[in-house]
Amino acid sequence: MHRVTTAELQQHGANGDDQYVRVSITEPQKMGEGMGAYMAYRVSTQTNMQFYKKSNFSVYRRFSDFLGLHDKLTEKYLRSGRIIPPAPEKSMIGSTKIKMSNQSDQGASADFIERRRAALERFINRTANHPILRVDPDFRDFLESELELPKATNTSALSGAGVIRLFNKVGETVNKITYKMDESDSWFEEKVQQVENLDAQLKNMLTRVEALVYQRRELSQCTASFGKSVAMLSNCDEHNSLSRALSQLAEVEEKVEHVYAEQCIADFGILCELLKDYVALVGAIKDVFHERVKVYQNWQHAQVVLNKKREAKAKFEIMGRTDKINQANDEVVEWESKVERGQEEFENISRMIKKELERFELVRIQEFKVTLINYIESLMQNQQQLIQIWESFLPEAKAIA
């Protein structure tokens, strides 16, 4: 059964042309030892775009390079209303485990590394699928430059810059609450409410799926315990056919446990990760909404200053202060230009957000469709395995005499 990959899923139907950039993240490697250690990933790209030097190429990038790329794209494009795909959050606990792990306990961090690898792959392919971001020079350098990228200074969770970054995020959150504007566009009024509702429902569903993963894991563990108890019972039962059936049942329960464990992995890897991504993507949409409010505030501030400059000019004219009139007139012209630029910027970011949200909806529907199909297929496959397991055991149970 073919399961659609991240790159295929995100490329499918998202762009109106035949050009593509497909990226795979593989071969995570621990570089260095102790607190100076870090993970490097092989970033392999396939493309038919002339913008890139080759059609197939690979480089190695560390986790902080991904965060640095996200920061650069945000700095360039957020102000214009582009929705920047969110990068995976830096985990202080997970990173510390990787740094301090050795050959004997690398298995403890293997699951974390795989989840991060998959999250990085989704982030890069979402970026590669964006018609503007995929031709950004910094994105191209990230994918194909064989030189080591400049070290990102504000991505470390333990650094002073990382702490400042955290406080800045808190400050931005407060600003999003305090910034207000009189919305005159009914489209935005409706969309803001829709996004808030989507955010709440995604977070609610994520909580439920996480509970499902936990319960499925518990079921797998309880099934294993039950199988061991049945095996112990079969060893002390003197009835031959019953003892044999119980022994077979113990083996069946072990197989069932593996099926439950696989379904638990599917619950997390398919559903949970998708929902986490979309909670973060909705956060990115809220960021562009907030940026629009900031642009509006700047425009209105310029309008207020312009009014004051006009009043000052009028007073100078009434008072006959010819020595002040020329300067006042220059200031009025200057602020009239700022008001015009502010209005133009507000109209531009509003148009861009509408365009970006239209694209977001198309991609979201397709991505949820493909993910649900993959998830249903995994459920059906596991249920079929369970039926086969129990059908093979049934004759042994009936043979008890």
Which positions ≥6 away from 51 have C-beta within 8 Å? 135, 140
Q: What is the pLDDT of residues 37-96, one digit of tens each?
A: 778 899 999 999 888 888 899 999 999 999 999 999 999 999 999 999 999 887 654 455
Return the closest-CA partner of residue 69 out of 123, 6, 13.
123
3-state secondary structure of 7: helix
The reported pLDDT for the residue numbered 257 is: 94
Outline where DSSP puts E strands in 169-287. none
Regarding pTM above 0.75, the answer is yes
The reported pLDDT for the residue numbered 34 is: 63
Residue 96, token pair as written in the block: 């510390």
Return the closest-CA partner of residue 130 out of 95, 83, 176.
83
The reported pLDDT for the residue numbered 13 is: 43
Q: What is the pLDDT of residues 104-137, one digit of tens each?
A: 455 557 778 888 898 999 999 999 999 999 999 9
More confident residue, 95 or 200: 200
Q: What is the pLDDT of residues 210-240, one digit of tens each?
A: 999 999 999 999 999 999 999 999 888 677 8
- Region 15-20: mean pLDDT is 70
Q: Are 25 and 117 in contact (CB under 8 A)?
A: yes
Sign of CA dihedral 77, 79, 80, 86: positive
Return the closest-CA partner of residue 185 out of 339, 298, 342, 349.
349
Q: Are 88 and 120 in contact (CB under 8 A)?
A: yes
Task: Tell me how far apart the alpha carbons of residues 71 and 65 are, in angstroms, rounded to a whole number.
Answer: 10
The reported pLDDT for the residue numbered 380 is: 94
Task: Tell me how far apart the alpha carbons of residues 238 and 233 are, in angstroms, rounded to a whole number.
Answer: 10
Q: For 183, which DSSP code?
A: -
